Structure 1
């Protein structure tokens, strides 16, 4: 068992041995929960969960396009977007 300290802004650093054993990398997501007697649990979430979370964030921020019924419809939308980006860059 390792002892960690809560720092300013309520940050903690996970000891190297824990990170390696859990297979964590920079950018990985951990689900935080609190159980009985105030026990805090951090559970690694798979990359698929991270991709879904990023996709949902993109949707909420308006950075997603579609849905498209056909591939041609999607390609046309991308070409239109690329054309408007080129015009904006020239200004």
Structure 2
């Protein structure tokens, strides 16, 4: 049923259009000039997580030392680890 309040509006056509999208391929390569970042957050706790964070460290050994020190001070044993690296996008071709 057409909308009687807006008689100047164009009517909708029931036909469907077909759209084709091309894909853009990108390759990601780790940036050789950037240091990776390692971070740990203590998630030990019953009511809530401890939340102590190591901050960004640049080697896995530094992160292990921070975890060991926190564990020795608090007895906490459960951590969430995040590793970050910078990636460089190298554009590919349209397909």
TM-score, structure 1 length as denominator?
0.26
The higher radius of gyration belongs to 2
TM-score, structure 2 length as denominator?
0.25
Q: Which has the higher helix share?
A: 1
Per chain length, whose mean CA-contact separation is higher, i.e. which structure has more relative contact order (CA < 8 Å, sep 6+)? 2
Q: Which has the higher strand share?
A: 2
